A = this chain, B = another copy of it.
């Protein structure tokens, strides 16, 4: 099977979906001649024309409002927010509006739109090119939120997102774009929304994670196995709806859990995972629920040593595994 980077998988999937369904149109800043700041749409305007690859003015609320309006009028818009840090102006159109179109019209209207949101740190992005923005989206009924970590999942979940009749937020970790390679079948497939996946089976404890942290967790689990700890790694993949069955099954089986995320801890995905475990795995737990996250400071300092200190790393995860193993 061919190997691809995440950004290649994203690009190929968008291209395939646009060929497959002419109602798919792209909206975003610099996605035309520039091909997107991450080159996700490189060559698209040449193939699909300026009608379907629309360089918008610099206005994120507009981008999402346009996508919503076009979606209720027969299109499947795929919007790009250039960096997750710039999604805040669009919250009203996403969380306030798009999420509630189906419910608020009792199904008379649907909003089949997808919003790609490159997010995450470890890229020397400082306070405004590093943020994790999943919390509010994952909280909001009516939205679907996916966060693929591998090229395979990036393709399968993006295809599912575009074909979904609901508004879907696709969180793509910027650092994985070129860093992470993996096998991607050339043909058409989708990854189901709402299903976590065990990316490494194990019996001593479960790491629950997603995004870039999946790769760090897998590295740490590998290193831990040399120390004799058999760590299972569960990749959430979808952040709304969370696959609580998969979480409960794995943690009940291993009896210990370490939740790893790049986002700051208070009221976050890790909180909800902990709550699910506290509700459903109580009688099977052998140790307190543990979390490894950055500290409670604004994500994240630009200066290199501080950025490194902020981000979880394979080493920090390994240390947390060792500590938990001994509990």
Contacts and interface: CB of A to CB of B under 8 A. Distances in A.
Given A88-B96, A267-B139, A298-B141, A278 B274 contact: yes
A85 interface: yes
B92 A88 contact: yes
A280 B288 contact: yes
Contacts of A92: 88-89, 91
Contact of A141 (B141, B264, B274, B283): B264
B103 A127 contact: yes
Nearest to A296: B141
Contacts of A274: 271, 274-275, 278-279
A324 to B, nearest CB: 12
A85 B99 CA distance: 14
Contacts of A291: 275, 279
Contact of A272 (B95, B266, B298): B266
Interface in A218-245: 240-242
Contacts of A138: 266-267
Interface size classification for chain A? 35 or more
Contacts of A95: 88
A89 B65 CA distance: 12
A155 to B, nearest CB: 26
A61 B88 CA distance: 11
Interface in A88-108: 88-89, 91-92, 95-96, 99-100, 103-104
A61 B59 CA distance: 14
Interface in A258-284: 264-272, 274-275, 277-280, 282-283
A267 B268 CA distance: 6
A211 interface: no
B264 A139 contact: yes
Given A141-B297, A241-B296, 9 more contacts: A89-B92, A103-B297, A136-B139, A270-B275, A271-B271, A274-B278, A275-B275, A279-B288, A280-B288
Q: What 7 A-B pairs come out closest when comparing CB atoms?
A: A278-B289, A274-B275, A88-B92, A282-B288, A271-B271, A271-B272, A139-B267
Interface of A: 61, 85, 88-89, 91-92, 95-96, 99-100, 103-104, 127-128, 135-136, 138-139, 141-142, 240-242, 264-272, 274-275, 277-280, 282-283, 285, 287-291, 296-299
